[in-house]
Amino acid sequence: MRVVSGICKGRPLKAVPGNTTRPTTDKVKEAIFNMIGPYFDGGIGLDLFAGSGGLGLEALSRGLEKVIFIDRDPKAIQIIYENIKACRLEDQTEVFRNDADRAVKALVKRGIGFDYIFMDPPYKKQHLISLMEKMDDQNMINDNGIVVCEHSFDVKLPHTVGRLGQIKYEQYGIIAVTIYSVLNGE
As a whole number of angstroms, the longest Cα–Cα distance in the chain is: 45
- Range from 5-14, 76-85, 125-134, 146-155 carrying the lowest mean pLDDT: 125-134
Helix ranges (DSSP H) in the chain: 26-36, 54-61, 74-87, 100-110, 128-137
CATH code given to domain 26-182: 3.40.50.150
CA 62, distance to chain mean position in Å, is 14
Q: Is the pLDDT of residue 186 over 50?
A: no
Q: Where are the domains of the chain?
A: 26-182
Percent of the chain with pLDDT over 70: 95
**pLDDT mean over 169-178:** 93
Q: Is the pLDDT of residue 125 over 60?
A: no
